Structure 1
């Protein structure tokens, strides 16, 4: 046995336990508080001496004459008890975690009351992993309360572990390691950063795959192309020359402004609550699914219309500029490089996006009526697009559509904004007829306020299409019978590897979905 130095922990642990119970320190997710309490309430005295070459030397000097132990900050010249100069410092060093526990204030000049210490202690947030909650987090809290009289931080965010796409721990021996430097070279730093952030859901490990990173790269490309289109069309445009009150706005403008305000609030609230993944998902769906796919496409109808007056075009340009500037700022924490690059090309903005203010909600732009109306326009377009896809009509081929409204207000709405529907659904003709009766060979889609008909006679040879679909239906039914027979075989289920069985079950589900689609197509053509 050898003599070691210990710290009595109970007196240090009790204030640290109370700090969390009283809400002075908050764990996110909250479930990690239990791990903290389990350690702290069952704490034992801590052996802090280590027999290592490197570390903070234990500040004890042994008197070789009287045996007294001298504790000093600076090396003493003589023994404080007998005055002897024959002193020998303890050869041990402090445990690494002891030194680390002092980090929040020792790095700021403590024990001197420096300006940095006054300003930066305590800090707001510590981000760390669950495996060092006791080794580091708890000890920083204890030391901070002991030496500074206050907690070192207010929030402790416990981040997830990054695993492979099957949820297995990454390991060189497993060959499932994703090298971040390789991913950055291949897809860009923004794509990797956005992927990790978007998968960061509180209390759940990240299942990372290269395909997810590639998807984020596609998102970055979508943003780049949308902003390139916008910048081309607002070249020479000066937003500062316009007051928002003087703009001539239509339904789509009011809708996107309203949705933007709600997204600002949602993203900000998520980030304030450390819901990083949910915030990223909100941005992804809004930028791609609403701004790019809907508003930017709608704006083309105005910008490219030679008969449209300049006042109306200026209104669209202003909205494109305003929403773009908000989107880039909201997205900047996730994709700092692409957002800064695009920001540099926007007119009337700060020198750098880093120093620009975070967007704030402007209540005057929130318009629930515009959102409700736009929802019905978008639903109408979606129904038409689904019909086109189901009937395998080529994207560039224009079709005729007849809307049979069940509601007078809806009828007026689609009549007023039929230009949106014609452009977005790629129509050759758009009719509104409350008395329309479905003819033979006409596809139909249903929504709550209308039926939408698409006559197919001029688009396809209905008899040939029916024959083709019946043949395909028989092929699919044969495949379903084959897979069902395999899955009903007890030997196959018991002896085949689990992933093989799951693959067959997935095949069965896929064939059943195809069968359902073909049957719907045949019904449409009847």
Structure 2
């Protein structure tokens, strides 16, 4: 033992020390090995901070990397950040405005300099937070999407696709943010349910139809009627057939527009007549294309009505809406108004309502790219975990439209297309130029737009590893092992990475896609700073330690993708009060420390040696250990972290600590059995620490530093103890298979059942552990044979006068029965418990609980209470009702024992 362990484990003191040990040792860097495990971190925004999604994602990735490293593989976890075009430009713009500086006044170059200053000042925050989590990424080789070599890769991709006809410029409808003044991807738009109206407006017919002088169109956006160029009806609506081919006079602008039928129209929506504004609605744009309608853009980039519309020109969208409705009402053309709740697209950055807007943008033609990307998943080259996300991917790919990649920003990868003002030449170039190669003119300028952030990040797995400058660096490390990410960027990022990697490398970018759960607030809503319900992972680390936070998050990684995080937050200060589940995880960390400390305090005279199953408890423990090795290994390999993490806790706490260590204590006091008991305990502890290290790296490493060498460190007959647990050998399942012994497990489980029955009965009836109880264990013939060698030990551990009998044995008088693990154990309570008093006590408790349950159910049945009370109050009442039902059932079961 190198040093004595402190009595109390303090994460705040120990974790920084262990972290420094890892960094000083250079253990995070790639080492030569057999096989490869390369993982690229989904690059967080350069100016971002760690949130619960990051913490979950990084905990999973670190577990994958740490196990692979211990298995002797060549490992590399690529760290990097994304320049986050819109987010960073918005922050810098806001900062400059606070200083009285206008972006437009200082110009593009100085503004980009300001962006670089911002990233240098704030860009390292999240990296330091990831480091504090204990994530074993290669911090010495950090990447950034605006690095010169990465920018070269982005430019190469654009130019190749441009010259191969996969990138084009066109005028099409895009989602436009009038606040950020840039296009937004369809997949980045956030939909908010809003209360609105459905206005029914009268459009006069140029000539009557069936005695009607006008038609009524229904719209949620009357302001866009200024740009109407048609009215559509459904071909499935026979009542409207007579109107097809006729025209109406568009009010206000006095424009004659046609009525036509189109399958886009829902005959049951509104009046059945739909106004068509091709420049301000995607469906209308499609109908306009099909019916050759003019495209009239009535808004500028700020969603302000352009010149030419009289009193409406210069109004913003909201002002124009009110004015148009007022005009229709004033002229007797407002038929009626209905209330309508509908979904409205908003900018994911500034929350402004997006405007479908016709503008000239750059697009990627995806038809040639999406087929191979679909095949890659359908063939199994890329596998989603959980598997159900495969359908999300395939559905999106099958319906994929051309991708708008241009953004009207200054911060980002500028589109490398150059134009000659003299002769009209245009081309995409790998190098900048100020001379036209066609006419020799010097009036050459570069496209003002930058590329969508997702365009650059789609190259992440290979542009971070040397491509295209040094493609040999990819050999053996690409495809990467796994991509761990959130479900909401399956379309934004995952699909595009697969498309680009297949195109440029002719291979998939990763073999597995692991979708981690969405971490929600305690009430089930999305975590948000504005709502004050977000949890800062650094607060959790400060309160409970990184190990506890990581372990708790891993237990939440089930196939259910929405997980409520158990945390209480002060409503006024918005500060974390506590997190009961994380506190429980900290208790497990403390248990690991205390159990290890106890064992290491009893290692006097210890020398390394092979584990030998001298007792039934040894054989049981070794078999359980072998299965734990298999469970953890396969859990990380198959990405079933929730089940695996909970299984680890059950194994170490309940089986190793509560049973094996307790049973083996007596052998530590006997000189004749002490050394082998020490070796067996050290074997179990050492293996357990190695298994738990990828999940809780700090506490396991801290314990490792105090441990003596074990047989697990032996190589070719020589003890070669690793410098750190994180580079010690992984317990391979194949080497532990020899320990699996089903009979030994069953024998010891019988003992556990009998002793547990005695202990639970003592606790229930408040009987002293020192008072011996009479017990009868009823079991089958085979179990009786297995248990024959365990009877004395069970009697000793349970302080029992124990009899073992067959399944037809008669239940003793005045006894209560406990069924556990296929064994019936009857504990005689005569003379130990006042049975009549106990019966009366339980009947009273049942009556009290039943009365409270009736009242709770009556309250919950009150629709007024459920509708008006705060959700947390209603949920608390429901939880209490469920708790009372369980209490009543348990008491009735106990009462039945007395009959």
Distance 2:620 2:522 in 1: 38
Q: Does 1:494 align with 2:852?
A: no
Q: Does 1:480 align with 2:850?
A: yes
Offset of residue 520 of structure 1: 4.1
Q: Does 1:401 align with 2:777?
A: no
State the partner residue of 2:724: 352
Q: Does 1:64 align with 2:64?
A: no
State the partner residue of 1:295: 660
> Could you list the per-position Cα deviations for residues 60-116 of structure 1 after superposition, in whole angstroms to 9, with x for gaps in the alignment?
221222110132211236322223333212222111111111222222232223442
Offset of residue 446 of structure 1: 5.7
Distance 1:281 1:491, change over 3 A: closer
**Counterpart contact for 1:329–1:359, Cα < 8 Å:** yes
- Aligned to 1:430, the other structure's residue is in SS state strand
Distance 1:371 1:491, change over 3 A: closer
The 5 A counterparts of 1:446-457 are 451-457=825-831
Q: Does 1:339 align with 2:339?
A: no
Offset of residue 197 of structure 1: 0.3
Offset of residue 176 of structure 1: 2.8
State the partner residue of 2:593: 224
Offset of residue 128 of structure 1: 1.0
Given the alignment, which residue of 177, 181, 184 partners 2:541?
A: 184
State the partner residue of 2:581: 212
What's the Cα RMSD here?
A: 2.8
Unaligned runs of 5+ in 2: 1-357, 567-578, 710-720, 867-873
State the partner residue of 1:382: 756
Distance 1:509 1:77, change over 3 A: closer
Offset of residue 195 of structure 1: 0.4
Given the alignment, which residue of 681, 698, 715 partners 1:320?
A: 681
Greater share of helix:
1
State the partner residue of 2:99: none
Distance 1:314 1:406 in 2: 36
Q: Which range moves more in the overlay, 438-447 or 60-69?
A: 438-447
Q: Does 1:201 align with 2:558?
A: yes
> Could you list the per-position Cα deviations for residues 19-46 of structure 1 after superposition, in whole angstroms to 9, with x for gaps in the alignment?
1112111121221122222222222222
Greater share of strand:
2
State the partner residue of 2:691: 330
Offset of residue 442 of structure 1: 4.7
Offset of residue 256 of structure 1: 0.5
Offset of residue 302 of structure 1: 1.4
Offset of residue 147 of structure 1: 1.6
Distance 2:663 2:676 in 1: 13
State the partner residue of 2:741: 367
User: RCO greater where, 1 or 2, for CA within 8 Å and sep 6 or more?
Assistant: 2
**Counterpart contact for 1:438–1:453, Cα < 8 Å:** no
Distance 1:128 1:515, change over 3 A: closer
> Could you list the per-position Cα deviations for residues 436-492 of structure 1 after superposition, in whole angstroms to 9, with x for gaps in the alignment?
9877655554675665433542x45x3xx62364155235325524643674x5995
Distance 1:123 1:57 in 2: 28
Distance 1:248 1:118 in 2: 46
Distance 1:393 1:132 in 2: 58
**Counterpart contact for 1:58–1:90, Cα < 8 Å:** yes
State the partner residue of 2:171: none
Q: TM-score, normalised by structure 1?
A: 0.88
**Counterpart contact for 1:6–1:48, Cα < 8 Å:** yes
Distance 1:486 1:85, change over 3 A: closer
- Aligned to 1:416, the other structure's residue is in SS state coil
Q: Does 1:140 align with 2:534?
A: no
Offset of residue 264 of structure 1: 1.0
Larger Rg: 2
**Counterpart contact for 2:812–2:828, Cα < 8 Å:** no
**Counterpart contact for 2:613–2:619, Cα < 8 Å:** no
State the partner residue of 1:275: 640
Distance 1:2 1:493 in 2: 55
Distance 2:501 2:823 in 1: 63
> Could you list the per-position Cα deviations for residues 223-263 of structure 1 after superposition, in whole angstroms to 9, with x for gaps in the alignment?
11111111111244121xx344xx46110001100111111
State the partner residue of 2:308: none
Q: TM-score, normalised by structure 2?
A: 0.53
Distance 2:860 2:413 in 1: 65
Offset of residue 284 of structure 1: 1.1
State the partner residue of 2:794: 421
Distance 1:74 1:411, change over 3 A: closer
Distance 2:445 2:819 in 1: 90
**Counterpart contact for 2:383–2:511, Cα < 8 Å:** yes
**Counterpart contact for 2:816–2:898, Cα < 8 Å:** no
Distance 2:811 2:504 in 1: 82
Distance 2:400 2:860 in 1: 54
Offset of residue 163 of structure 1: 1.1
Distance 1:490 1:400, change over 3 A: closer
Distance 1:392 1:440 in 2: 20
State the partner residue of 1:466: 836
Distance 1:511 1:133 in 2: 45
- Aligned to 1:200, the other structure's residue is in SS state coil
Given the alignment, which residue of 651, 657, 675 partners 1:286?
A: 651
How many pairs were matched up? 507
